[in-house]
């Protein structure tokens, strides 16, 4: 597997950047985690959109246009002959000197890694994962907005260390006011019963959550399946009171939550709404996406939609 770095594709063991790169020295940069399923990159334009907004916020000017970057991602996947991949796109401020001033960095570093995917163990998708509330609060949006997928992940890593210490699958992060923000690397949804029907709720991004691409896909998909989605703040009470809860992320996809802080969510089993959303999300990723090998289009059988839900593209 070759890695794209600084304009070249090099074997992964030789891929390197300078120790003076400000991505390393200060976490000064933006990244994306993207998935390819069976020869198609899921929501590549949405990932690039989020990336370019992040770059704009941190005033990191990249000479590449989104289309050029998109072409480079596809080129790297084609070069490596990869149909299923976890793609890590990293843009750093580039090489500078030992001062934090970004003006020392003349050329941004562009890295594209296309690797295999490591998933949560399959039994967690069948039984749900144990989630624990961590003491570390999610970054205050006034300090570093969690909407920016920056190379500064220490806030989340501190949360993950707490979750790991008690053997939990993920850590639930609250914001400064005690509202549920997100998990350390995933967004959260609850399924609640209201007026005899089930509906979904997820924290709005202003509470302190990344606007996840998977979250966005679920917010589009759920209404097509007849579930209203509310984007309003809730505390842990909203999880205690919920029938079901699940996490969403590019790596995890949709993963059910079995317990919060040792207490079952709903009846503790994976609920029917979560199961339906998991199934429909699988169908969605297999029917849409940017083709890596467009010459195959029309010859490849596209997996049929499970429920005939409208396609995105
Ligand atoms: N919140 C945070 C803090 C994240 O880092 C998500 C939510 C979900 O967003 P997406 O756009 O992926 O639906 C993320 C994404 C990993 C890994 O290797 C983490 C993410 C994505 C891919 C892999 O742990 N986090």
Q: Do domains 2-117 and 122-287 have the same CATH topology?
A: no
Domain-by-domain residue ranges, the chain?
2-117, 122-287
Instruction: Choose the residue to mutate in 145, 184, 212 for probing ligand 1, maximizing ligand atoms within 8 Å of C-beta.
Output: 212
Beta bridge partners of 85: 36
pLDDT in tens, the chain (313 residues): 999 999 999 999 999 999 999 999 999 999 999 999 999 999 999 999 999 999 999 999 999 999 999 999 999 999 999 999 999 999 999 999 999 999 999 999 999 999 998 878 999 999 999 999 999 999 999 999 999 999 999 999 999 999 999 999 999 999 999 999 999 999 999 999 999 999 999 999 999 999 999 999 999 999 999 999 999 999 999 999 999 999 999 999 999 999 999 999 999 999 999 999 999 999 999 999 999 999 987 765 554 444 434 433 3
> What does R_g of the chain's alpha carbons equal in angstroms?
20
Q: Which of 170, 166, 212, 208 is nearest to 46 (CA)?
A: 212
From 3.30.565.10, 1.25.40.10, 3.20.10.10, 3.90.1260.10, which CATH number describes the 122-287 domain? 3.20.10.10
Ligand 1 atom having least distance to the Cα of 50:
11
The DSSP bridge partners found for residue 189 are 246
- The CATH number assigned to the domain with range 2-117 reads 3.30.470.10
Is pTM beyond 0.85? Reply is yes
Closest Cα to atom 6 of ligand 1: 186
């Amino acid at each position: 597997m070759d890695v794209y770095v600084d304009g070249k594709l090099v074997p992964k063991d030789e891929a390197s950047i300078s120790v003076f790169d400000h991505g390393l020295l200060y976490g000064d940069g933006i990244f994306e985690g993207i998935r390819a399923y069976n020869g198609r990159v899921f929501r590549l334009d949405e990932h690039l959109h989020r990336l370019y907004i992040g770059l704009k916020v941190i005033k990191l000017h990249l000479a590449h246009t989104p289309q050029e970057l998109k072409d480079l991602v596809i080129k790297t996947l084609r070069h490596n002959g990869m149909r299923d991949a976890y793609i890590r796109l990293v843009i750093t401020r580039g090489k500078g000197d030992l001062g934090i001033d970004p003006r020392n960095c003349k050329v941004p570093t562009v890295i594209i890694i296309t690797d295999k995917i490591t998933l949560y163990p399959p039994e967690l998708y069948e039984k749900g994962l144990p989630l624990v509330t961590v003491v570390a609060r999610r970054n205050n949006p006034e300090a570093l907005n969690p909407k920016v997928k920056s190379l500064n992940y220490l806030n989340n890593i501190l949360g993950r260390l707490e979750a790991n210490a008690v053997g939990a699958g993920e850590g639930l992060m609250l914001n400064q006011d005690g509202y549920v923000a997100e998990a350390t690397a995933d967004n959260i949804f609850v399924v609640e019963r209201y007026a005899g029907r089930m509906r979904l709720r997820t924290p709005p991004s202003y509470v302190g959550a990344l606007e996840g691409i998977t979250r966005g896909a679920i917010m589009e998909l759920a209404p097509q399946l007849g579930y209203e989605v509310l984007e309003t703040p809730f505390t842990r009470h909203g999880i205690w009171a919920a029938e079901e809860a699940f996490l969403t992320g590019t790596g995890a996809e949709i993963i059910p939550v079995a317990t919060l802080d040792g207490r079952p969510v709903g009846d503790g089993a994976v609920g029917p709404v979560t199961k339906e959303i998991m199934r429909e999300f699988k169908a969605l990723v297999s029917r849409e996406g940017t083709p890596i090998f467009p010459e195959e289009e029309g010859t490849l059988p596209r997996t049929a939609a499970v429920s005939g839900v409208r396609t995105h593209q």
